[in-house]
Amino acid sequence: MTAPRLILEATIRFLRAHEPFARMTRRDLEYLAGHVRLAYFAAGSVVVDAASGAQCPLHVIQRGHVRAIDARAPADATLLGPGECFPLGPAGQAVASVGYVATEDVFCYQLEASECQALRASSVAFAEFCAQSLRTLLHQSQGQVRRQFSQRAVEQQTLLQPVRALIRRAPVSCAAATPLRAALERMSAEGVGTIAVVDDAQRPIGIFTLTDLMERVVLPGADLGGPVSAVMTPSPGAVDEETTAQEALAVMATHRYHQLVITRAGALCGVVSERDLFALQRVSMQYVIEAIRGARDVEALKGAAADIMTLADNLLAQGAAAEPLTHTIASLNDALTLRLFALLAADHDLEGIDWCWLSLGSEGRREQTIASDQDNALVFEVAEPQREMARARLLAFAHAANQALAALGVPLCPGNIMAGNPAHCLSADEWRGRFASWLREPAPEALLAANIFFDFRALAGQAPLADALRRWLVEVAPDSRLFLRLLATNALAAEPPLGVMRAFVTDDGVHRGTIDLKADGTRIFVDAARAFALAFGIAETGTAPRLRLAGRRLGLEERETGAYADAFHFLQLLRLRAQRGHVGSEGGPAPHAAPNRIDPYALNELDQRMLKEALRQARLLQKLLEQTLAR
């Protein structure tokens, strides 16, 4: 007997609202809806016993919540909600040690194992889902971001706005009979490269640009007393001010115009150049790098810094993954800082000093988000007698650099961990002494503050100085047992906000209803990775590479360490989206005071599941850390 249409339709309607069913074909959904049984479980009853084995039917929660409890780690209960499937292990089969208990009255669709197999054979989306890993979910999540924000990107892209919005200033114009010299003087006085030639009714009849000056005036030796009409380009490309920027671009491309005259009711009202229009198109990485390289002063760099934000926004909208995204931001910020130093160097005499600018914290790990503030330091090497003199010169330079970076939009470090602070502008010997004291006599509080120093990386100057310091640290750290244990204990202090009754434990008070993605999320991964790196003598500073190398040392499978890295990157991505106002349907940037906070329940269903899984990975990582280092 086949299921009546009404039941099929109602079931499919429900399934379609959830992954992976949303991506399955109608035929496969009909198969699923027609073969499931609906079962009821009162609150507190066991839905799937841990011992039920591989022949257990697949459950899809229709209503209510179910808690998954791993017998090996009872504290790691995960809460599953409507649309979620269980039991699903890594290979799409039940995991023997995990049991499922209804936390409230629950209805579940059940699909027998044999039918599940048939569905896997027929539906690629379902098969993929069953062979589920964090990776597939992550992929889907990025796809959703892409879909969600391509609309936003279109709106941002001002190519659809009328070209009048691009007119920057009142046009400079003259009559046809104006002597060439007078026209050039006007252009020079107004600081423009283009002058429009108009008739008595202000209608554009020609255009003259600085490019024409060479070919039509200077080289032919034209008479500067003659009328401008003799050298102008007659009947210039003109469009009405209501034309969209898109169309204007098309007109330029077709006729190879470099300038367009904009008219209102036929009369001249502005001139736009190719550059004005091209700036509207997506800011590309290349463009930003060139803008940084070409910047002649701090003022010009400010524009480039703003472009980095736009680029990050666009990459986010295009669904870029967190790792390349944060790396992009990091390398652009590096380029920005290097250019800034080059500009500043002219004012500072650093001759004869070997110095190296160190990036610390997230910058050192190349994991900058948009709200990251400055964390930097200086290491230098000079002959002993000149040390204090060198320090003074470096401090002056560093102070100026810190202020200039702040002017570019990288906030000053509230804890004053900056190169301009004498405490962090040290010689190589002094740095070694400082690290040695942390390693030898660690105090938990002091270590918390010291964390970011261990993530140092050379940014500018003599990189070998930083490398030597790193080599030394990698050698001595693994033997500092007490230090490592404290480091691990600190990393275990944070608790992933996973709930027992609800999926997430949100905060109260000022940040009511939100969770801190940094303090209770990414930091756990960062701290654990740092502890592992120092314990195993890993020179890497990035969290993901550190975890990968540590995993190899611990004999973990690539898949396992990959899951940690994926979880970390997902949390980073959420932070970036929160900071750029991409979280939730409301849009608008997050309140500046809490750039890393989000309301987890405002996320879409898929992201909620991802977040849950990522936080669960944080917990697993903590457990690993506890077992290896905290004992």
- Which stretches of the chain bind another protein, using CB under 8 A? 1-4, 6-8, 10-11, 33-42, 45, 63, 105, 107, 110
Name the 3-class secondary structure at 259.
Answer: strand
Structure tokens at 161: 């706005």
Per-residue buried b or exposed e for 10-46, using 16+ beta carbons within 10 Å of the residue's own CB: ebbebbeebbbbebbeeebbbbbbbbbeeeebeeeee
Closest CA to 245 of 265, 218, 274: 274
Alpha-carbon distance of 405 to 330, in angstroms, equals 14
Q: Which is nearer to another protein, 42 or 250 (CB)?
A: 42
Q: What's at 405, amino acid-wise? A: L
Q: CB of residue 104 vs another protein: minimum separation in angstroms? A: 9
CB nearer to another protein: pick between 6 and 265: 6
Q: How far is CA 42 from CA 89, 301, 462, 501, in A?
A: 25, 63, 68, 16
- Side chain identity at 48, as an amino acid letter? V
Give the CA radius of gyration of the chain: 31
The position carrying tokens 């991409």 is 582
For the bound state, the minimum distance from the C-beta of residue 446 to another protein, rounded and expressed in Å, comes to: 54
Whether residue 139 contacts residue 569, with contact meaning beta carbons closer than 8 Å, is answered with no
| Between 27 and 255, CB nearer to another protein | 27
Report the nearest approach of another protein to the CB of residue 21 (Å).
15
**CB nearer to another protein: pick between 38 and 170:** 38
CA distance 317 to 577: 9
| Minimum gap (Å) between residue 5 Cβ and another protein | 8
Least CB distance from residue 321 to another protein, whole Å?
Answer: 38
Which of 4/414 has CB closer to another protein? 4
Q: Which CB atom, from 105 or from 241, has the smaller least distance to another protein?
A: 105
Of the pair 35, 575, the CB lying nearest another protein is at 35
Least separation in angstroms between CB 606 and another protein? 23
Least Å distance, CB 316 to another protein, is 37
Calculate the alpha carbon distances from 219 to 187, 215, 233, 253, 358 in Å.
19, 6, 17, 28, 53
Task: Provide φ and ψ at 194, rounded to 5°.
Answer: -140, 140
* Closest distance of CB 526 from another protein, Å: 42
Q: Which helix (H) or strand (E) holds 260?
A: strand 259-264
> Which is closer to another protein, CB of 389 or CB of 501?
501
Specify the 3-state DSSP secondary structure of 83.
Answer: coil
Q: Which residue(s) pair with 197 in the sheet?
A: 174, 206
Sort residue 430 into left (φ over 0), alpha (ψ -120 to 50) or beta. Answer: alpha
Q: Which is nearer to another protein, 34 or 193 (CB)?
A: 34
Closer CB to another protein, residue 8 or residue 285? 8
Q: How far is the CB of 68 from another protein (least distance, A)?
A: 21
The CA distance from 448 to 444, in Å, is 6
Give the 3-state DSSP-derived string for 35-102, with helices as H, strands as E and coil as C. HCEEEEECCCCEEECCCCCCCCCEEEEEECCEEEEECCEEEEEEEECCCCEECCCCCCCCCCCEEEEE
CB of 44 to another protein, least distance (A): 11
